[in-house]
Structure 1
Amino acid sequence: MKIRTTVAALALSLALPLAACGTTDDAATASTSTTSTESTSSTDATPEEAGFGGGMPGGGQGGPGGSVDVSSVTTEEELVELVQDAYGDPSLDLHRGHQPVEDVLDEVLGITHEELHVRMEAGQGLAEVAEDLGIDPQELIDGMVAKYAVAIDTLLADGTITEEEADQYLADLETAFEFRVTWDGEAATPTYTGLSA
């Protein structure tokens, strides 16, 4: 029984770094389920208790299971969720669930996903990683905004939002990604409810 518990704990520890970046909540859930069924230890935790399953208002989690797909946004409500998603998932600490913007991070930072994890585990946020590499953090923000702005353009083109509203959503999206990139590990994540009346 002790061997099974040890093996299950090892499997969980290997899966957690993946879940931490929002790569796969399913991996954390599967590992946790395995641990729970093979052991009745009081150290077993659900993904939420381990800090990997919480959500944000609007349903975004910063990872594939909870994020709004940029290319499928067809309503203003989904756009509001997308902006909230841009803030990242606070339960994932400095990682904030970077899976939805991983391609931007890879392109701008020019380091491997594994190296990014090493730096974040050492306490660097995205802005610190960029600065350490000689890159202006604004480049990260601009790249993330460009990736998500496609949804704003779609709703503008189909008449769901006006040009003025599109400009405000774009500004709000930049604010959200600026928060994500420069997050100090302390500030509470704002709740985005849409455009002010």
Structure 2
Amino acid sequence: MKIRKAVAALALSFSLALPLAACGASDDSATASTSTTSTESTASSGSTSETPALGGGMPGGGQGGPGGSVDVSSVTTEEQLVELIQDAYGDPSLDLHRGHQPVQDVLDEVLGISHEELHVRMEAGQGLAEVAEDLGIDPQELIDGMVAEYGVAIDTLLASGTITQEEADQYLTDLEEAFDFRVTWDGEAATPTYSGLDA
């Protein structure tokens, strides 16, 4: 029994190295995150209550980088909002992963699994929608949570008078479409280019 656990832990550590690097986590933070989560998972019979520290000051612990180049709290122009909505589509170079730094807290809260388990599932070929469905969760919950996370930027521009209510409604619709694409991506469809309302 101990040998099987040791082999499983070793296999998990190897399978996590590459995907965690793709998230933008450094080797040190990935190692620290893996050990903290593994220890806590064992203590709590498989459920993890601690979110790995990803830093960066962005909602969801984002650091910029793949799948998270815009800080939601600092959006003050429509150009930045357009960039944020493009960012919501995720990074196609990361395959099914598409990056989840800026929305990691939504993933943790809705899915209720560790960052590491999410990586293992994605490396096995599951996209976000499949992970959610496998856990008995409606993928729309992920989409709604991510939209709420990024939608703060739309509210900020509306409150400052930078955009009208009609424009805010359209941006919100566009943001939901972007996250819907990200969550339900089939691994093949080309990532749309978002150029704003005038496009």
- Equivalent position amino acid for 2:118 in 1: L
How far is the alpha carbon of 1:20 from its aligned partner?
A: 1.8
**Residues 67, 99 of structure 2: 8 Å contact kept:** no
**Residues 62, 89 of structure 1: 8 Å contact kept:** no
| Aligned equivalent of 1:84 | 86
How far is the alpha carbon of 1:64 from its aligned partner?
A: 6.7
| Aligned equivalent of 2:172 | 170
Alpha-carbon distance between aligned partners in 1 of 2:158 and 2:89, rounded to the nearest angstrom? 22
Alpha-carbon distance between aligned partners in 2 of 1:133 and 1:73, rounded to the nearest angstrom? 34
Alpha-carbon distance between aligned partners in 2 of 1:151 and 1:14, rounded to the nearest angstrom? 32
How far is the alpha carbon of 1:19 from its aligned partner?
A: 2.4
| Aligned equivalent of 1:36 | none
Q: Using a 3 Å threshold, how does the CA distance of structure 1 residues 134 and 15 change in structure 2: closer, same or farther?
A: closer
| Aligned equivalent of 1:46 | none
Aligned ranges 1:54-133 → 2 under 5 Å: 63=65, 67-133=69-135
| Aligned equivalent of 1:185 | 187
TM-score normalized by structure 1? 0.72
Structure 1: runs of 5 or more not aligned:
1-12, 28-60
SS in 2 for 1:85: helix
Q: Percent identity?
A: 89
TM-score normalized by structure 2? 0.71
**Residues 62, 85 of structure 1: 8 Å contact kept:** no
Segments of 4+ moved more than 3 angstroms: 22-25, 61-66
| Aligned equivalent of 2:159 | 157
How far is the alpha carbon of 1:17 from its aligned partner?
A: 2.1
| Aligned equivalent of 1:32 | none
Q: Using a 3 Å threshold, how does the CA distance of structure 1 residues 65 and 147 change in structure 2: closer, same or farther?
A: closer
In the alignment, does 2:159 pair up with 1:136?
Answer: no
**Residues 64, 100 of structure 1: 8 Å contact kept:** no
Q: Using a 3 Å threshold, how does the CA distance of structure 1 residues 81 and 187 change in structure 2: closer, same or farther?
A: same
Q: Using a 3 Å threshold, how does the CA distance of structure 1 residues 155 and 71 change in structure 2: closer, same or farther?
A: same
SS in 1 for 2:80: helix
**Residues 143, 183 of structure 2: 8 Å contact kept:** yes
Structural RMSD (CA)? 2.6
SS in 2 for 1:93: helix
- Equivalent position amino acid for 2:170 in 1: Q
Aligned ranges 1:18-29 → 2 under 5 Å: 18-23=20-25
In the alignment, does 2:153 pair up with 1:147?
Answer: no
Aligned length: 154
Structure 2: runs of 5 or more not aligned:
1-14, 30-62
SS in 1 for 2:188: coil
Alpha-carbon distance between aligned partners in 2 of 1:80 and 1:24, rounded to the nearest angstrom? 29
